[in-house]
Chains A and B, each alone.
Chain A
Amino acid sequence: MTVRPLGADSDLPVGGRTATAASPWRQFWRRNGAGYAFLSPWFVGFFGLTIGPALISLYLSFTDFNLLQSPHWVGGANYLRIFTGDAKFMQALRVTFFFAVVSVPLKLAFALAIALLLNRGLKGLPIYRAIFYLPSLLGASVAIAVLWRELFAGDGVINHLLGYFGIAGPSWISNPRYALWTIILLSVWQFGSPMVIFLAGLRQIPQDLYEAAAIDGASRARQFWSVTLPLLTPVIFFNAIIQGIDAFKSFTPAFIISGGTGNPINSTLFYTLYLYQEAFGFFRMGYAAALAWILLIIIAVFTGISFLTSRYWVYYDE
C-alpha cells in the first residue's frame, strides 16, 4: 500500500495519463473504489458530524452566537472573559479538578486492592468479581443517580445507618461541604471495571518471576513492590488515563443530584454542567463553544503530560 501526501488529490493517479487509454479517474476508482465505497458512511459522519462541527465550534468560540441571531465576530472576547472575569468558570474548574484528583486515585486504589485480594487463588472469584463489577455496569444510569440523591438526603438511609453509631449526619447533598463528596463516592463505588482490567493485568505477570523472587528470599511485601507493582504500571497508567478523561467529562450524576443547578452554592458545578447551562440555559452558544474548546485543550494537555511523565514511572518490557 502506498500513502501519498495529503492535498495531492488532483494529480493522484500518477502516470495514469501517459500511454493507457483508461481515464485517470477510472483507474483511481478501480484501485480505490471499494475502499471508499465502504468508508462512505464514515466520511459523511467524519466531515459532517465530527471534524466539520469541531471547526465550526472553534469559529463560534470567537463570536457572540446566541442561536437566534447570526454570529458576530468578537475576537478573543469570550476567552478573555472566561479567564479574567468569570468566577463560575474558575469554580467549575476547581470542582472538576478536585473531583478528578480525588476520585480517580481512590477508585484505582480500591480496584487494585480488591483485584490483588481476588488474585490470590481464592474460591469464588467469579462470584466476587461479578458482585464488584455490577455497580460499574449499572452506575452510569440516571436511576442510580436518583438513588444516590435519596440515600444521602437529610432523612436518607446513610444518616439512619450513621445514627446507629451515634452520628447525626447532615443533609449531605444540600451541604456545600459534602455534596461533591457524595458524587466522588458514587464514582468510587464504580471501581469494578478498572478492577476487571487489573485482574487481567495481574494474570499476565509471569509466575516464574515470583518463584525466582521467592528463591532469592524476597518477602511477599517485597514481591509486591518489586515485581507486581512495576509490571502493573502499564495497566495503572491505562486505567488512570481512561478514568481521568472520564472524570473531566462527567455530567449526569451532578445534574441529577443537584437538580441541574450545580448547587449547593455551585459546589457540584462540574465543567460540563456549566457548559450545558451556558449553551442551553442562557443560549450563549459562542461562549459555550469557547468553554468546549478549553475542555478539549485541558484533556489534551492532561493526556500529553501523562504520556510525557509515563516514561519515568511506567515499565515497558524491552
Chain B
Amino acid sequence: MTSEAVPSPPPRPGRRSPVASVIAHALLIIASIAMLYPLLWMLAAALRPQQEIFSTTSIIPSSISFEAFSRGWNGLQVSFATFFSNSFLISILCVIGNLAACSLTAFAFARLKFWGKNIWFALMLGTLMLPYQVTLIPQYVLFKDLGWVNTFLPLVVPKYLAVDSFFIFLMVQFFRGIPRELDEAAMIDGCSTFQIYYKIMLPLSLPVLTTAGIFTFIFTWDDFFGPLIYLNDMKNYTVTLALRSFVDSTSQSDYGGLFAMSVLALIPIFLFFLFFQRLLIEGIATTGMKR
C-alpha cells in the first residue's frame, strides 16, 4: 500500500449531484482558510510595520519591510545566527546517529540469527511505550556526573545508541521486505555480514532512511524539553530555547521581531513539507507517525 497511499481515490459509485460537490468544496475552502489563517497572520505580522500588528486582522500587510527580521535576529544578547547554527548542528548530528545506530540494530533484528533475538526484540518494542519522564532523572544525573550539562552531548549521544525504538521498528519492517536472495547471493560472492548491511541493505533502504532522517531532523529541530534542561548558557541555546527567551523578554514588546524569528524557525520544516510532502504523508499513512 505504500505506493498507493497518495493518488486520489476513485469516485464512489452512485451519482453525485453537482450541488453536493459545490457544498463540499465550499466547506473545505472555509476550513482551509481557518486552518491557514494563523500561519498567514504570523507571516504578515513579521513583515508589516510594528504598530500595525495588533491593530488589524488582515493577512495582507499595508507595506512590507524586513526590518523586523534584522531587529529580531539581534534581539537577544546572542545573535540568532548562533541559535540557528546550534540547532542545525544538533539536528544533523542526531540524524546521522539515528540512521546509523537504528539501521545497525534493525539489520540485526531483521536478518541475523543469534541467541535471544526474540526476547531482545520484544524488550525493544516494550520501550516504545515508555514515557521519557521515567528515565529522565537518572539520565540527567548521569550526564551531569559526566560533566555534559551545558553541552550538546546529552542531546546527541543517545541517538548514537539507538534509543529511538520507533525508527528501529520502522526499519525492521522495511528490511524484512527486501528479498533474502540478495543477501545470499552477496554472501556467496564473499561479502561479509557488514558488507551485506552496508552495500546491499542500506542502498536499497533509501526510502525508509529518508523518512526516518527527515522525521529525526524535525523532532530534534522542534525539541524543547531536552535543550530546556540541558542547556543553560545562552551561547548554547537552540532556536526553540531562544524563542522562549524572546517571549519572556517581550516586555520591551518587539512582537515583529518575535514573529520574524518564529517564521524563520518554521522554515526548515516548511521546506521539508514542500519537497518531501509525499514521503511524509506516506510515512504517516503507513506507520502512524505522530505528525
**A169 → chain B, closest Cβ, in Å?**
13
Residue of A nearest to B105 (CB): A42
Residues in A with CB closer than 8 Å to B225 are 251-252, 276
Contact of A293 among B10, B134, B141 (CB under 8 A): B134
Kindly specify which of B74-82, B178-186, B202-210, B241-249 makes contact with the partner chain: B241-249
- Which of A3, A36, A42, A246 is in CB contact (< 8 Å) with B118? A3
Cβ-based interface call for B189 (8 A): no
A50–B28 CB distance below 8 A? no
A197 to B14 Cα, complex, angstroms = 25
B-chain residues with CB within 8 Å of residue A256 when the two chains form the complex? 224, 244, 247
Residue from the set A60, A150, A207, A285 with the largest chain B CB neighbour count within 10 Å = A150
Give the interface SS of chain B, mostly helix, strand, loop or mixed: helix
A299 to B263, CA, bound (A): 35
The reply to whether B229 and A146 form a contact with Cβ atoms under 8 Å apart is no
Which of A's residues lie within 8 Å of B, judged by CB? 1-4, 6, 12, 28, 31-32, 34-36, 38-39, 41-42, 44-46, 48-54, 56-57, 60, 65, 67, 114, 117-122, 124-126, 128-144, 146-151, 155-157, 160-161, 164, 189-190, 193, 196-197, 199-200, 202-204, 207, 210-211, 214, 220, 238-239, 242, 245-246, 248-249, 251-252, 255-256, 259, 272, 275-276, 279-280, 285, 288-289, 291-293, 295-296, 299-300, 303
CB within 8 Å of A: which residues of B?
Answer: 1, 4-6, 8-14, 16, 21, 24-25, 27-28, 31-32, 35-36, 38-39, 41-42, 54, 56-57, 101, 104-105, 107-108, 112-120, 123-124, 127, 129-142, 144, 158, 160-163, 168, 193, 197, 218, 221-222, 224-225, 228-229, 239-240, 243-244, 246-248, 255, 258-259, 261-263, 265-266, 269-270, 272-273, 277, 280-281, 284-286, 288-291
What are 15 A-B pairs at a CB distance below 8 A?
A: A3-B115, A31-B115, A48-B161, A50-B127, A65-B137, A134-B273, A146-B244, A147-B262, A148-B38, A160-B56, A203-B4, A203-B9, A207-B12, A276-B225, A296-B134
